[in-house]
Amino acid sequence: MAALARSVLVTGSNRGIGLELVRQLAASPQPPQHIFATCRDPDGPRGKVTSPKIPVNTVDLPSIRRAVQVVESCLEGQGLNLLINNAGIGSHATLQPETLKRVCINRAWVSLCQEFLPLLEKAAKGAQKTGLSCSRAAIVNVSSKVGSIGLCLGVLEAPMYPYRASKAAQNMVTRCLAAELRDKGILCTAIHPGWVKTDMGTEQAPMTVERSVQGILAVLGSLSQETSGAFLDWEGNSLPW
């Protein structure tokens, strides 16, 4: 199987889905040459990834800008192929005055896209291939089915207003970015990982993180211009917006 991409950056990679993405990418038969495993506190008790240590707090623009510099110098003139916006926080809040603030926290990944865009553009331009793919240049946003407006009436059991609203907004921005970046050779897709046993998903979730990430990585390897701007689950099924 061909390498997914030469360089990959994952946010929130100290635990949960982000950590497993990094583990499986590193263990793949043809691993990326560069895996940038970022998290907000690499030296903290949950900082399981060792090298290179790139602290990225997605709500802290200076930390994102410092990370861009580190990544750029590691890539030695090459672009970044794949940005996976995985970091996120769950919330079971109902409609409260605090809601908007929490929606903003999950919206912070937009800054990641803006700041890493020049490196993604460089990868797209420098690629020896046309069309859209994760091996050329791509933004993958880890979204959630509970952010689907179309499916909302089917998932009434948990309020999660801020979380759902932030993921719905993320889906819309994914779609806009896909349209805007298509001509620059950059793919942009939203992926629902399933309900997964992580701190966020809880032990009640039916799926292991290993199984979810196996599926996600297989889907990422299959993405193309047809699926840029799509909302897919970990098995590649299309989800309603």
Ligand X SMILES: NC(=O)c1ccc[n+]([C@@H]2O[C@H](COP(=O)([O-])OP(=O)(O)OC[C@H]3O[C@@H](n4cnc5c(N)ncnc54)[C@H](OP(=O)(O)O)[C@@H]3O)[C@@H](O)[C@H]2O)c1
Binders of ligand X in range 175-194 (CB under 6 A): 192-193
User: With contact defined as beta carbons under 8 Å apart, do 146 and 158 qualify?
Assistant: yes
Q: What mask, x for binding ligand X by CB under 6 A, covers residues 58 to 87?
A: xx--------------------------xx
Helix intervals (H) in the chain: 16-27, 61-75, 99-106, 109-126, 161-181, 209-222
Q: Name the DSSP class of 32.
A: -
State which of residues 3, 15, 115, 169 lies at the interface with ligand X (CB under 6 A): 15
Whole-number minimum distance, CB 127 to ligand X, in Å? 27
Nearer to ligand X, 133 or 143 (CB): 143
Residue 166, beta-bridge partner list:
none
The residue assigned the tokens 């407006």 is 149
Residue of this chain nearest to ligand X (CB atom)? 16
Q: Residue 54 phi/psi, 5° resolution?
A: -120, 100
User: With contact defined as beta carbons under 8 Å apart, do 58 and 83 qualify?
Assistant: no
Examine residue 199 and tell whether it contacts ligand X (CB under 6 A): yes
Examine residue 34 and tell whether it contacts ligand X (CB under 6 A): no
Q: Residue numbers of the site for ligand X (CB under 6 A)?
A: 11-12, 14-18, 39-41, 46, 56-59, 86-89, 142, 144, 192-193, 195-196, 198-201, 205
